[in-house]
Amino acid sequence: MKKMLLLTFAALAACQSEPTLQKYFVAQTDNQDFVTLDVSPSILNLDQTKLSLEQKQAFQSFDRMNILAFKATDANTAEFETERAKVSQILKDPKYQQLMKFGSGKEGASISFVGDDEHIDEFVVFANKKENGFAVVRVLGNDMNPTSIVTMVSALQNADIDLKQLEPLQQLLEK
C-alpha cells in the first residue's frame, strides 16, 4: 500500500513540474525584458448585428488572448537565446500539435493547437527573429476549430480594434 501511495504521489509531482506555456507566461510576469498582455474579445468592438450566424458562433468560442513578447537588444542576446529555447522546448510537448511552420528554426513562426481538430482549446502562435525578439500568442477558447479561426479573421476586417489595450506591446516595439 505504501509503495502504491508513493508511486501515485511521485507521478503527480512529476506531472506538476512539466513546463507549460501558462506557467512560462506567469514566470515572466516581472521580467523587464518581457511584456505580457491579456486581451479580451471586447478589444474587437464588433457590431454584433452585422455578424453572420457563423461569425457569431466563432466569436462565442473565443475567450481571450494572452500575449508574451521578448524584445531583443544587444545587452540581452544570451537571455534571448535561452528564453527562445525554453519556449521551443515547451512547444515540443505532444499536446501542442503543429499546424504550420514558416522560416527556419532560428527565425520564423509556427502555429500550433491544443485539443483535437473539432474541439480546440488553444491556438499558439510563436514568432521569433534574432534582431527583434519573439512573441508567443495564446488564443484561448472552447471548442474552437480551424474553420472558426478563419471565420474570425474574416470578421476582423470589419472590427474597430481598441488599440489602447495594445499600448504596452506598441511601446515595446518602439524601444
Q: Are 67 and 37 in contact (CB under 8 A)?
A: yes
pLDDT tens by residue, 121-151: 999 999 998 888 999 999 898 888 888 777 8
Per-residue pLDDT tens over the stretch 92-120:
999 999 988 988 757 899 989 998 877 89
pLDDT of residue 81: 94
Q: Domain map of the chain by residue range? A: 19-174
Asked whether the whole model's pTM tops 0.85, one would answer: no
CA torsion angle 30 20 140 25 (round to 10): 10
Task: Provide mean pLDDT across the span 50-66.
Answer: 84
The better pLDDT of the pair 65, 174 is held by 65
